Amino acid sequence: MKRLRSASELEELRKSLLAGRDPSQPMIAVCSTTGCSASGAKTVVAALQRELVSQGLENKIGLKATGCHGFCERGPIVVMYPQKIFYQQVKEEDVPEIVSRTVVNGEVVDHLLYKDPTTGETIAFEEEIPFYKKQMRILYANNGKIDPTSIEDYIYLGGYSALSKVLFTMTPDQVVETIKRSRLRGRGGAGFLTGRKWEVARQAPGEVKYVICNADEGDPGAFMDRSLLEANPHSVLEGIIIGAYAVGANEGYIYVRNEYPLAVKHVGIAIEQAQAYGLLGEDILGSGFDFHFRISRGGGAFVCGEETALLASVEGLCGEPRPRPPFPAVKGLWGRPTVLNNVKTWANVPHIINRGADWYASIGTEKSKGTMVFSLVGKINNTGLVEVPMGIKLRELIYDIGGGIPGGKKFKAVQTGGPSGGCIPDSLLDLPVDYEALTKAGSIMGSGGMIVMDENTCMVDVARYFLNFTREESCGKCTPCREGIERMHQILTAICEGRGQEGDIEWLEELGHVAQDAAFCQLGKTAPNPVLTTIRYFRDEYEAHIKDKKCPAGVCRALIRYFVVEDKCTGCGLCRRNCPENAISGKKKQPHVIDAEKCIRCGLCFDLCKFDAIGVE
Amino acid sequence: MEESTVSTVTAVIDGQQVQVQTDTTILEAARQYDIPIPTLCYHPALVPYGACRLCIVEVKRGNVSRIVSSCTYHLQEDGLTIDTQSERVLRDRRVIVELLLARCSNVKIIQDLANKLGIERPRFSLKDENCILCGLCVRVCEELMGESAISFVGRGPERKVMTPFQEATEACIGCGACAFVCPTGAIEIEDVTGKRTMVNWQTTLERRRCRICGNYFAPEVELNRLEGKLDLLKESLEVCPQCRRKLTGKEWLTGIRASPSL
């Protein structure tokens, strides 16, 4: 690797990469990040390697382990270039067929294509699949095209040109001004104007300043930051270096949780490669600008996503929030002005520099610009990561992109913003996704978690679940969070166990409002959101639990009863034999009976019965 | 006349116009004007921590109002209206004290606070903790003693103050500053003849004998540490406080010393 000493040397490298690669040459790209690896991508890559060798094609056909396409539900995903045929749920045994038919004969293997569940049509190309149609992929556009461990792949597609532009044609003030004009807002959750934050840090007195990338993604079910770091780490790194130049920082950190080993690995490789090329370190591209960047690995405490707790953790102290003001932009890491931004915020920066603030500001709603990446999980057909323009309706996200609810069940609610977000009901599905609209509905944008719930979800139980998470993840520093959330959880548990009392709803509201008001940091202030929104939109469910001692969704064990639907029961005895409490009795080929006294409501009989003969009420 | 270089800031607290040095916290400003705000985790000798949330006040700027902890909120600009007793503040403060009372149902200082706010009995199930996790002990040990022998361990409901690995620690010098600042009396010290035991920290230390009366008075480790840190006469650390008083009193009376204080 030759160190690049000027903007033109970077451009020459790109040109030589372009000249050395023939886009019409066949290439097989296999998504190899965490999601697809979990569904077997590594064995597919190994099988492809073997098969190419055995057919003597290893030098003619490229094979690339790429980043995440987002359609994790359908992994492992294999894309055949140059035709861009999109194969999904590929298994090891499909490999010989792919090589002999697609690689050798140029045919499409029909059974590996995506089949639209509604029309039954098979679809050969990614962009024609409904999951992708309404997406607008800016940050994730190149995920499936590049090998995340290859800086050349990134440079080939125009990488580091924004950095070069900034270093040689823009002053730091102009960079700040551009980001301000783009109206980019922090993607970590609070949605503060990024350009404004940079400006404050730039103007703050002091020689030493820092930039930090917050990759402490901790929401259950959310993995958009991990995915971007795994798939395209250089895009994040380029944004950070630009930010450092803008605010006048010569040192920076990425705080990433150690449970993200692949992300840590890819970021580490990216840092080394960027240093080797002179894109990071001393005298970047010969511009005279120095910037050193290190990884700080987090132990996995949710509270360390809160910026001041993150700073404490980077300093080697206990991850506990500090008072704000002073804000980190004025007094942050080791008391110096520090800009902290989320992974996605940083990754937006090169795009804004390359394509202009006006282009960026033209996407989205009046106050929320650009795209947002959501991790769409829960009771949804198309689990995965989606990048959509701000302002898209929740309905489009869930039905058009997400493919609706599995099993023909009814939609009940969607929780946005992670464990501290609110649950939004059916009646608000036409809500546009932007910071203000979600806040007004009692939820938050958060970092992009989105959990879909169907009619079989009990909203009281959901609130209890999320509160259990925040109570365990509270740092325990302040009273309203440590004690208040714990007590709210106790009340919710009592309600779920049939011990709810008149007045509990109001009591929960009171405790929730106090935590929102008086908790030390955003963890405590937002933790009551799931409770307050479920009370706001699903109060009848709370009342059914408390007054009628019934769980309408059939979830809360203490409040439900399993029974045999006599005319459906064939007397097969499957439930009787499997019941752990021997609570089911009956003769062969005769309807069985459940002894309610013995039944522990584990639901095994309900799950096992092939004839829908077990009812729940 | 020399012009004052100290800049000041004005605010209205509970209807009263106040003028204080810029950067003063709301709590300190209120105390300067004898406006009472209850606190538990605040100590004037330590860096404000903002954990107990008892000192919350409502801060209004224009039409926007929010709740902040007065001990950590620094006054930097004119024009804030601060209410220490608004309905919202009192509701929040009552719930906070109720939560603390449920945690520490037998701690007198919390019972008294609850009484003042009209809370008879918490609506929650009662626990019998004596530590409110205000962190004064942890902070005095770190900030003033410079020892950092104890810290918080665990998160959320599991949080407590402990020594590293919950074992006896050599970092503890047995000075007792933690017990001195503790508002609830949760930290126990047992002095038995030649030994001092910091019960909570499972640490026992040897005590020094007074050169004059022969009584044991303070841990050796602490006295050695003090000797290194402070420019005190070595011999004054060899006598117990009672004998030291007698000694310095005598020196003062006989004119060896100019003032009665050591």
| Shortest alpha-carbon distance between residue A119 and chain B (Å) | 50
- Judge if A291 and A236 occupy the same domain: yes
CB contacts, 8 Å: A477 with chain B: 51, 133, 135, 152, 159
Write the pLDDT tens digit of every residue in A366-401.
999 999 999 999 999 999 999 999 999 999 999 999
User: What ipTM was predicted for this assembly?
Assistant: 0.91
Helix axes A224-231, A261-276, angle to 10 degrees: 40
A487 plus A542 within the same structural domain: yes
Whether A567 and A539 share a structural domain: no
pLDDT for residue B262: 43
* A537 is a domain residue: yes
Whether residue A325 has pLDDT greater than 50:
yes
Of B51, B67, B155, the CB nearest to A517: B67
User: Residue for token digits 């903002």?
Assistant: B50
The β-bridge partners of A615 are A563
Q: Considering only alpha carbons, which residue of chain B is nearest residue A523?
A: B156
Closest to B175 in 3D by CA, of B213, B212, B201: B201
Q: Dihedral, CA atoms, A569, A572, A578, A584, nearest 10 degrees?
A: 50
State CA A518 to chain mean position distance: 29
User: How many other β-carbons are positioned within 10 Å of the β-carbon of residue B202?
Assistant: 14
A267-276, B201-210, B218-227 — which is least confidently predicted? Answer: B218-227
> Is the per-residue pLDDT at B1 higher than 50?
no
In a domain, A140, yes or no: no
| Cβ atoms of residues A592 and A564 within 8 Å | yes
Q: What is the structure's pLDDT at B126?
A: 95
CB contact under 8 A, A484 and B99: yes
- Of A253, A216, A249, the C-alpha closest to A237 is A253
Q: What's the CA gap between B137 and B131, in Å, rounded?
A: 11
**Chain A residues within an 8 Å CB radius of B55:** none
Q: Give the closest residue to A66 by CA, choosing from A151, A126, A144.
A: A144
What's the pLDDT tens digit per position in B157-177? 999 999 999 999 999 999 999
Amino acid identity at B166: Q
Query: Position A417: which residue type?
Result: G
Answer whether residue A143 is part of any domain: no
Residue A612: count of CB within 10 angstroms of its CB:
10
For A478, the domain range is 459-546
The answer as to whether A18 is a domain residue is: no
- Shortest CB distance from A477 goes to which of B51, B95, B125? B51
Whether residue B156 and residue A483 make contact (CB cut-off 8 A), yes or no, is no
Nearest-CA distance B159 → chain A (Å)? 6
Q: Look-up: residue for tokens 């980043």?
A: A67
- By C-alpha distance, the chain A residue nearest B97 is A479
- Which of A301, A476, A510 comes nearest B95 by C-beta? A510
| pLDDT over 90 at B260, yes or no | no
Give which of A313, A478, A481 to mutate to test B binding, by max B Cβ within 10 Å: A478
Check CB contact under 8 Å for B155 and A514. no
Q: Mind listing the pLDDT tens digit for each residue in A347-363?
A: 999 999 999 999 999 99
* Chain-chain contact of B156 with A472 (C-beta, under 8 angstroms): yes
Both tokens of A525, joined, read 């202030």
Parallel/antiparallel/unpaired status of strands A210-215 and A251-257: parallel
CB pairs under 8 A between A and B: 97
Determine which helix (DSSP H) or strand (DSSP E) holds A358, and give its type and residue range.
helix A357-361
Residues of chain A contacting residue B80, judged by C-beta atoms under 8 Å apart: none
Minimum-distance CB partner of A483 among B50, B88, B100: B100
* Structure confidence by residue, pLDDT tens digits, A442-479: 888 888 889 999 999 999 999 999 999 999 999 999 99
Do both A209 and A351 map to the same domain?
yes
Length, in residues, of chain B: 262
Task: Give me the CATH number covering residue A592.
Answer: 3.30.70.20
Which residue is listed with tokens 């993840």? A473
Listed in sequence order, the residues at least 6 apart from B52 whose beta carbon sits closer than 8 Å to its beta carbon are A478, A479, B39, B40, B41, B96, B100, B132, B134
Q: Looking at the structure, do residues A450 and A463 belong to the same domain, yes or no? A: no
Task: Tell me, yes or no, whether A215 and A341 share the same domain.
Answer: yes
What gap in Å lies between CA A471 and CA A465, rounded to an integer? 10
Per-domain boundaries in chain B: 12-116, 136-253
Residue B100 has pLDDT above 50, yes or no: yes
* pLDDT value, residue A617: 84
Whether residues A449 and A463 fall in one domain: no
Residue A200 in domain: yes
Task: Indicate yes or no: CB of A482 within 8 angstroms of CB of B156.
Answer: yes
Taking a C-beta distance cutoff of 8 angstroms, is the pair B208, B217 a contact? yes
Contact in structure between A333 and A244 (CB atoms under 8 Å): no
| Residue A321 and residue A378 share a domain | no
Residue whose C-alpha is closest to residue A500's, from A510, A509, A490? A490
Burial class, A242, CB count within 10 angstroms (exposed 0-12 / middle 13-18 / buried 19+): buried
The verdict on A293 and A388 lying in the same domain is no
Q: Are residues A240 and A343 in the same domain?
A: yes
**Whether pLDDT at A162 is above 80:** yes
Residue A441 DSSP class: T
Q: What is the DSSP string of B18-42?
A: EEEETT-BHHHHHHHTT-----SS-
pLDDT above 70 as % of chain A? 100
Q: Which residues of B touch A473 (CB under 8 A)?
A: 155-156
Cβ contact A479–B96 (<8 Å) = yes
Q: Which chain B residue lies closest to A511 (C-alpha atoms)?
A: B95
Per the CB < 8 Å rule, is B124 touching A490? yes
What residues in chain B have their Cβ under 8 A from chain A's Cβ atoms? Answer: 48, 50-54, 56, 66-67, 69, 72-74, 88, 91-92, 95-96, 99-100, 102-103, 123-125, 132-133, 135, 151-152, 154-159
Interchain contact, B51 vs A520, CB within 8 Å: yes
Q: Which residues pair with B81 in a beta bridge?
A: B12, B60
Q: Which residues of B touch A480 (CB under 8 A)?
A: 53, 92, 95-96, 99
At A491-512, the pLDDT tens digits run: 999 999 999 999 999 999 999 9
- Domain end call among A361, A385, A400: A361
What's the CA gap between A493 and A472, in Å, rounded?
15
Q: What is the pLDDT of residue B232?
A: 63
CA distance B143 to chain A (A): 14
Query: What's the confidence (pLDDT) of residue B150?
Result: 97
Nearest Cα of chain A lies from the Cα of B26 at a distance, in angstroms, of: 13
- For B124-140, what is each residue's pLDDT tens digit? 999 999 999 999 999 99
Query: Within 10 Å of residue B116's Cβ, how many Cβ atoms?
Result: 10
- Structural domains in chain A (count): 5
CA A313 vs CA A51, A113, A261, A325, A458: distances in Å: 48, 46, 19, 19, 37
Is residue A210 within 8 A of residue A247, CB to CB? The reply is no
> How close A318 gets to chain B, by Cα (Å)?
8
Domain of A186, CATH number, reads 3.40.50.11540
Nearest-CA residue of chain A relative to B51? A478
Per-residue confidence (pLDDT) for residue B257, from 0 to 100: 58
Longest CA–CA separation in chain B, Å: 68
Nearest CA in chain B to A323: B72
Element (H, E) at A194: helix A194-203
Report the chain B residue with the minimal C-alpha distance to residue A480. B96
CB contact under 8 A, A473 and B156: yes
> What's the pLDDT score for residue B259?
55
CB contact under 8 A, A479 and B52: yes
Q: Is residue A500 part of a domain?
A: yes
Provide mean pLDDT across the span A20-42. 89
Same domain, A99 and A158: no
Helix %, strand %, coil % for chain A, to 5?
Answer: 45, 15, 40
Q: Out of 3.10.20.740, 3.30.1330.60, 2.40.30.10, 1.10.3720.10, which CATH number does the structure's domain B12-116 have?
A: 3.10.20.740
- The reply to whether residue B95 touches residue A476, judged by beta carbons under 8 angstroms, is no
Cβ contact, residue pair B67, A472, below 8 Å: no
Q: What CA–CA distance (Å, rounded) separates B249 from A524?
A: 55
Strands laid side by side in the B8-13 sheet: B16-21, B8-13, B80-83, B56-61, B64-69
Best probe of the A interface among B95, B113, B124, B129, by most A CBs < 10 A, is B95
Measure the CA–CA gap between A203 and A206, rounded to whole angstroms. 9
Task: Identify the residue among A479, A481, A482, A505 best suited for mutation to test binding to B, counting B beta carbons within 10 A and taking the highest.
Answer: A479
pLDDT for B4 equals: 57
Number of Cβ atoms within 10 Å of the Cβ of B123: 14
Torsion region of A206: left, alpha or beta (phi above 0 gives left; psi -120 to 50 gives alpha): left
Is the confidence at residue B107, as pLDDT, over 70? yes
pLDDT for res B258: 57
Show residues of chain A in contact with B132, CB under 8 Å: 479
Query: Quick one: CA dihedral B145, B148, B154, B160, positive or negative?
Result: negative
Residues of B in contact with A507 (CB under 8 A): 123
3-state secondary structure of B64: strand
| Nearest chain B residue (CA) to A471 | B156
Chain A positions contacting chain B at CB under 8 Å are 301, 303, 318, 320, 323, 325, 471-480, 482-487, 490, 507, 510-511, 513-514, 517-520
The residue assigned the tokens 């001004």 is A177
CA angle B256, B258, B260 (to 5 degrees): 95
Secondary structure of residue A344 in the 3-state scheme:
helix
| pLDDT tens for each residue of A103-160 | 888 899 999 999 988 788 999 998 899 999 999 999 999 998 999 999 999 999 999 9
Same domain, A61 and A89: yes
- CB contacts of B100 in chain A (<8 Å) are 479, 483
Taking CB atoms and an 8 Å limit, are A474 and B156 in contact across chains? Answer: yes
Instruction: Answer yes or no: do B100 and A479 touch at CB < 8 A.
Output: yes
Task: Say which residue the tokens 């004054």 belong to.
Answer: B236
Interchain CB distance below 8 Å, B157 and A514:
no
> How far apart are the CA of B158 and the nearest CA of chain A, in angstroms?
8
Does a structural domain hold residue A141?
Answer: no
Question: CA A41 to CA A30: how far, in whole Å?
Answer: 7
